[in-house]
Amino acid sequence: MSYNTMNPDLEQLPPSSRLAEPPRKLKERRSAADERKRAARACDQCRRVKEKCEGGVPCRRCLHFRRACEFMTTASQTGELHSNSGGLSSASSGILAELRDRARYMERILKYEIKEVALDTESLRLRAEAIPCEGSDGDNTNPSSEELAIKDETCTISPVEGDTATHYSGEFSYWNFSMRIKRQLEERVYSPRESAQNTSHISDYVRAGQLQPSPDNLSAAISCCPPRPISDFLVRIFFEFAETHHFYVERRWLLEKLDLIYDKPAALAIKDASTMSIILSVFAIGIQYAYLDSPSQHERFYTSVEYSEDEIGSIFYQQAVRLLPEIIETSTLESVQACLLLGVYSLPIDASGLGYIYVNLALRLGMQNGMHRKYTGSALSDGMIETRNRVWWSAYVWERKICIFHGRPLSIHRSDIDADFPKDQADIRKGDFPSNVSHLRASIYMTHKLEDYLNQINLSRNCPKQEIANISARLITIKTGLQNWWSGLPISQESPDNPYREAHHRSTAHLRLEYCLIRMFVGRPFLLSRPNPGSNNNPQSGFSDSQSPASGNNHKQSSTRQQLVEDCVQAAKEALEICRSLRDGGYGLARGS
């Protein structure tokens, strides 16, 4: 049986009709399976235009379109970590887990460091693009960097009418800007010779001279001076009992001014008002300590008898205060010394009030004269530079102690001060300075540590709980460093043939008292606070017990709070013992103590 597979209708058509039939369209050749396979990771250009990447470097599409074929984007950004079989390899899964952990940790850090930060991709992109690129401060990347450079903005300290009054310009001040304009105008208008002749007749430093009052106050101050033997006695008492380890005035300079007052009082002018105030303040302070010169009078300290010499001292003080307008106007080194001595006189009377005001006034006048800055010129003598430095640091130490102990804001940042510390140089005005320079330097160091304590205590008031442990550790570090420094300080070495042995002993005692007061200050905030029962933390002070985490060790370390409290109590006992030794050792205990 046969089958005819041809269509009978087609057989009846003529051959020409069959030949006119259009040819069939041939099917395209199918690609091989490996050529159709999608690449495991698309290149950056194919991913950007959302095209299928066929793999290879360069891939076919990038080669066809003549574009750079790069693989810069990490696989974690696209999720294309699947292998050829469609699953994740062990290495890829480890990388993905690490990236997820890193993102989670970074989000937690950002939420803690930056409050209310948005962590969505768009917000992070905007925040990241706002950050300047690294290396933008180079010479080629930022052409305007040279234009932003500031030049010729250095402070100047120049003498005015002698070497006791100086003009301090300060950085970025109106004065510096005006002087730069003046120099440029002179360079364009005058020749160098004409410029020198023109500036020789004009004073660059303007001081208020028209505001000075009549000399009646100065005459009244001179008339109230006691006889010369009494003044010599009060000056000796001042340097022996009152000055201790600070520096207020040179002894030889003071005696020379006393000779001028008693021998040639008419030679004094209005500009000598500061000198007169210094002398009267020395008299007033000397009267405060005059009874210490007689051991038999020490017992008066324990009675309720009113001291008649205090009335005499107040007379000297009132006459010195009347000269205060002239003192402020002249604004000299003597003005700083006069205000500082007025503050020292007021300390036993009203430390947080009058004492605070006078000492801060001395500090302001010192800054007006640039005493807080390092002098690099040649117009001032070495002795004058050393005097300025010692007076400045004495005022600075008093200002810091008054402000910190009595809760007052500090007047100047430590970073704004670069004046040299006092130096014990025998070739500078030999015999004028007492041998307490090492004591003054030690007092400056302890004052800096006291300020460090204050900064940490202020931080602990409003800081997060996570920072309490760091602050407590820093407090202990400061305490340990101060304790080690003090143990290596040879302050107890007193020479028996020292002519100022009693004054040196009193300076050492005052330095010991300062050390005790600093330790008492840092432990005082935690002294009256009590930890809650059943809790190792002290909510009132914010400091937690720093006990060892080892459970097998029965020995428990004392807490930071307990260490500070115990040291505070021990320092108070030592301070009482120092005062007792001064009282019973023949040196005498001042009423202000």
Task: Say yes or no: 516 and 583 in one domain.
Answer: yes
Q: Which DSSP string corresponds to 361-430?
A: HHHHHHHHTTTTS----SSS-HHHHHHHHHHHHHHHHHHHHHHHHTT---SS-GGG--PPPP---TTSST
Domain presence at residue 479: yes
Task: Say yes or no: 225 and 291 in one domain.
Answer: yes
Domain presence at residue 182: yes
Q: Supply the CATH number for residue 56's domain.
A: 4.10.240
Task: Say yes or no: 283 and 315 in one domain.
Answer: yes
pLDDT at site 162? 65
Task: Say yes or no: 217 and 193 in one domain.
Answer: no
Who's near 533: CB < 8 A, 6+ residues apart? none
Q: Which of 73, 94, 116 is the last residue of a domain?
A: 73
Q: CA 354 to CA 348: how far, in whole Å?
A: 10
Q: Which of 22, 57, 73 is the last residue of a domain?
A: 73
Write phi, then psi, for 510 (nearest 5 degrees): -65, -35
Q: CA 523 to CA 572: how far, in whole Å?
A: 11
Structural domain containing residue 54? 38-73
Residue 259 tokens, joined: 């000779």
Q: CA 456 to CA 564: how far, in whole Å?
A: 13
- Label the pairing between strands 157-159 and 166-168: antiparallel
Domain presence at residue 10: no
Domain presence at residue 487: yes
SS (H, E, C) 473-536: HHHHHHHHHHHHHHHCCCCCCCCCCCCCHHHHHHHHHHHHHHHHHHHHHHHHHHCCCCCCCCCC
Give, to the nearest 10 degrees, the angle between helix 273-288 and helix 251-263. 110
Domain presence at residue 150: no
Nearest by Cα to 369 from 164, 179, 161? 164
Task: Say yes or no: 283 and 385 in one domain.
Answer: yes
Task: Say yes or no: 382 and 294 in one domain.
Answer: yes
Task: Say yes or no: 190 and 223 in one domain.
Answer: no
Domain presence at residue 425: no
Task: Say yes or no: 180 and 276 in one domain.
Answer: no
Who's near 11: CB < 8 A, 6+ residues apart? none
Domain presence at residue 69: yes
- Reading the chain (593 residues) residue by residue, the pLDDT tens digits are 444 445 545 445 555 444 455 566 555 555 554 455 666 778 888 888 878 887 777 788 887 887 878 777 654 444 444 444 444 556 667 788 888 888 888 888 887 777 677 777 777 878 887 777 654 444 444 555 555 555 556 667 777 766 677 777 776 676 667 777 887 887 788 766 665 555 544 455 556 555 555 678 888 999 999 999 999 999 999 998 898 889 999 999 999 999 999 999 888 888 889 999 999 999 999 999 988 887 555 555 444 455 566 788 899 999 999 999 999 988 999 999 999 999 999 999 999 999 999 999 999 999 999 999 998 888 888 889 999 999 999 999 999 999 999 999 999 999 999 999 998 866 554 455 556 889 999 999 999 999 999 999 988 888 888 888 888 889 999 999 999 999 998 875 554 445 455 667 888 899 999 999 999 999 988 887 665 544 444 444 445 444 444 433 333 335 888 888 999 999 999 999 999 888 887 677 777 65
Question: Count of residues for the chain?
Answer: 593
Q: Which of 355, 382, 402 is the last residue of a domain?
A: 402
Task: Say yes or no: 181 and 65 in one domain.
Answer: no
Q: Are 359 and 312 in contact (CB under 8 A)?
A: no
Task: Say yes or no: 463 and 509 in one domain.
Answer: yes
Who's near 564: CB < 8 A, 6+ residues apart? 475, 479, 522, 523, 526
Domain presence at residue 23: no
Q: Are 286 and 234 in contact (CB under 8 A)?
A: yes
pTM of the model: 0.68
Task: Say yes or no: 312 and 387 in one domain.
Answer: yes
pLDDT at site 550? 40
pLDDT at site 82? 45
The residue to which tokens 């460093």 are assigned? 481
Task: Say yes or no: 256 and 168 in one domain.
Answer: no
Domain count, the chain: 4
Q: Are 527 and 567 in contact (CB under 8 A)?
A: no
497: exposed, middle or buried (C-beta count within 10 Å: 0-12, 13-18, 19+)?
exposed
